[in-house]
Amino acid sequence: MTTTTSGVRGAREQSPLSFGLDTFGDLNHENGEPVPHAQTIRNVLEQGVLAEQVGLDFFGIGEHHTDDFPMPAADVVLAAIAARTSRIHVGSAVTVLGSDDPVRVFQRFSTLNALSNGRAEVVLGRGSSIESFPLFGYDLADYEELFEEKTELFAEIMKGGRVTWSGKMRAALRDQDIVPHLDAAMPVWIGVGGSPHSVIRAARYGFNLMLAIIGGQPTRFEPFSELFRQAQARFGQSPRPIGVHSPGHVAETDEQAQGELWPAYRDIITRLGPSRGFPMPTLAFYNREVGPRGALYVGSAETVAQKIAQNLPILGASRFDLKHGMPGMSQGSLLRSIELFGTRVVPRVRELLATKAA
């Protein structure tokens, strides 16, 4: 219902298109039975290697701490993927900075950037997960303050050079050298689910903006893109890329993709609903999310490509990361989805957007 005007609309065209995959280490099932956590982690490694083989630009792993998503040490898995690839970028999706230490996060990812020859990216945020707060002894009520302060320190470290900093949530640093130093750029994104403060924060620090759109109409995030552009101009920052992270699944046909994802979606949303505030999933609700105005990218390559090509220009985004699959799906169906996403969806999106631009 809101219409916005863009004073810096040209900035939308500056970043080259890029496409990636995200996973939370979703627990795989085979023949209806869950596979061990360790096998799920090895499966993610294979997904990352395949992502490069099918031409994708980015593979992201989001930190989680539960039986459905046994993936607390994403950076370790990213390092393994980096060692078996040569071109694809690897990063978090997201790093829960509020319950982590900015110095340690920088050190782990600057190490990853070293190992991968400059292919690391960091996406900072909360995700919709909260488990890390009690696990590491933080109070959820302090979430905003923790994230604010730790982002400030992280931005200070990213400037390079010795760091002098003090705050309330962490010990102060004085003229501190933080190693390893970066020898290549390392993009930093702020993942945003609905907080305008986070949009402003990303703009202020000169970070990229990742819109996490996991439910509802993607276009309702358009004002956030506008806010990001205006805030960058206000802070004197040059325009940074905007990305979209959304869940989905690709298969040969719409029916197959929707049928493969639905039971996994139903089960995980049912289990997470009470703690994340998701309404109980019905098939009607799912179908609306899968439809052209919903947040899920599920279907044949053509269907998924059309939806991405429709939404990216509206959101002013140049990056799309598909959060592929859900807990309970087989490695085989995930690998097939990755292959279709890389070889069929992405080329088709590029084609559709080139036609639109012409």
Partner 1 sequence: MNGVNEDLPQIAVLGAGHVGPIVARLAAEAGYQVSIAASGDPEEIALTIQVLAPGAEPRWAADAVAKADIVVLAIPLHRFAQLEPNLLASKVVVDMMNYWPEVNGSLADFDRNDVGSSELVAQRLAGSRVVKTLNHLGYHQIDEEARHAGDRDRRALGVAGDDPAAVALVAEFVERIGFDAVPVGRLSAGRLLEPDGPVFGRPMSRADFERSLAAVAA
Residue with smaller CB distance to partner 1, 1 or 38:
1
DSSP letter at 181 equals: P
Q: Any residues with CB less than 8 A from the CB of 176 and at least 6 apart, and which?
A: 162, 163, 164
Residue with smaller CB distance to partner 1, 32 or 279:
279
Out of 39, 111, 195, 343, name the contact with partner 1 by CB under 8 A: 195
Distance CA 86, CA 225 (A): 32
Residue with smaller CB distance to partner 1, 259 or 273:
273
DSSP letter at 34 equals: E
Residue with smaller CB distance to partner 1, 18 or 128:
128
Q: Any residues with CB less than 8 A from the CB of 132 and at least 6 apart, and which?
A: 63, 65, 96, 99, 100, 138
Out of 135, 140, 184, 283, name the contact with partner 1 by CB under 8 A: 140
Q: Decide: is 259 part of the binding site for partner 1 (CB under 8 A).
A: no
Distance CA 224, CA 167 (A): 29
* Span 269-298, contacts to partner 1 by CB under 8 A: 273-280
Side chain identity at 76, as an amino acid letter? V
Residue with smaller CB distance to partner 1, 86 or 282:
282
Residue with smaller CB distance to partner 1, 217 or 343:
217
Annotate each residue in 78-117 with x if it binds partner 1 (CB under 8 A) or - if it does not, as one string.
----------------------------------------
In our burial notation (b when 16+ CB lie closer than 10 A, e otherwise), range 144-154 reads: eebbebbbebb
Least distance (Å) between residue 65 CB and partner 1: 15
Q: Decide: is 139 part of the binding site for partner 1 (CB under 8 A).
A: yes
Yes or no: say if 307 and 354 are a contact pair by the CB < 8 Å rule.
no
* Span 204-243, contacts to partner 1 by CB under 8 A: 215-217, 220, 223-224, 226-227, 230-231, 234
Helices (H), the chain: 37-53, 74-83, 102-115, 132-135, 143-158, 196-205, 222-234, 254-276, 283-290, 301-315, 331-340, 346-357
Q: Decide: is 76 part of the binding site for partner 1 (CB under 8 A).
A: no
**Dihedral class, residue 117 (left if φ above 0, else alpha if ψ from -120 to 50, else beta):** left
Q: Decide: is 357 part of the binding site for partner 1 (CB under 8 A).
A: no
Q: Decide: is 56 part of the binding site for partner 1 (CB under 8 A).
A: no
Q: How many Cβ atoms from other residues are within 10 Å of residue 83's Cβ?
A: 12
Q: Decide: is 200 part of the binding site for partner 1 (CB under 8 A).
A: yes
Contacting positions for partner 1 (CB under 8 A): 1-2, 4, 130, 133, 139-141, 194-197, 199-200, 215-217, 220, 223-224, 226-227, 230-231, 234, 273-280
